[in-house]
Amino acid sequence: MDSAPVSRAEQRRRTQDRVLAAARRLFAEHGYDRTTIRAIAAEAKTDPGLVMRYFESKEKLFARIAVVDRHEPFGGTPEQLAEQLLAALDAKTSAEPVAALAALRSMFTHPEAAKEVREAMLAEQRHAADALPDDDAELRTSLIGALTLGTVIARYLLRLDGLEDAPPEKITALLRDPFHS
């Protein structure tokens, strides 16, 4: 079965995609400090020199993959806002957020990862706080952010019993009251 020859541009794109996928997995699994360019290249089945050629440095590669999801601005009534935040948590517990986990695992040892996580959380909290009418809006959204962050860390990084295998809808059902309070 003949296949058409693959262009250099297509070969490059495929190699870059393999490197990005390997980097996501390894940074999420081992964190920034314990992940090496050589390990990423081996996982991607390519040469470490190509990884450096395409991405220039470990830090630039990390910045490319360790992006924390940012959501559309929140709005509506406080009840609608709580449900939007619960839906965001449900999405994070339904599928392992590999890129976010790379940032979370690395945030304790790598300043850029900590900055990325903090900026994403602050942006989400500000949008949510703007939609709440009460004086405690900032504190309430910070606590909801802490619950969300703690849930993701406990589920995917610590793999706590009960939480690791819990259905996402059960998690959001149990957190519904605190999110609405």
168 with 89, same domain: the answer is yes
Count of domains forming the chain: 2
Instruction: Kindly state whether residue 72 falls inside one of the protein's structural domains.
Output: no
Instruction: Indicate the pLDDT class of residue 68, thresholds 50, 70 and 90.
Output: low
Can you give the pLDDT at residue 70?
58
Compute the radius of gyration of the chain from its Cα atoms: 19
Minimal CA–CA distance to 61: which of 48, 45, 74?
48
Measured between alpha carbons, how far is 92 from 102 in angstroms, rounded to an integer?
14
- Is 60 exceeded by the pLDDT of residue 147? yes
Tokens of 152: 């993701």
Q: Which domain holds residue 17?
A: 8-58
Q: What is the pLDDT of residue 2?
A: 53
Mean pLDDT, to the nearest integer, of 44-62? 93
Sorted by sequence, the CB contacts under 8 Å of residue 84 that are 6+ apart come out as 74, 75, 76
- The tokens describing 141, both together, are 């959204």
Average pLDDT over residues 62-80: 74
Structure tokens at 78: 């406080």
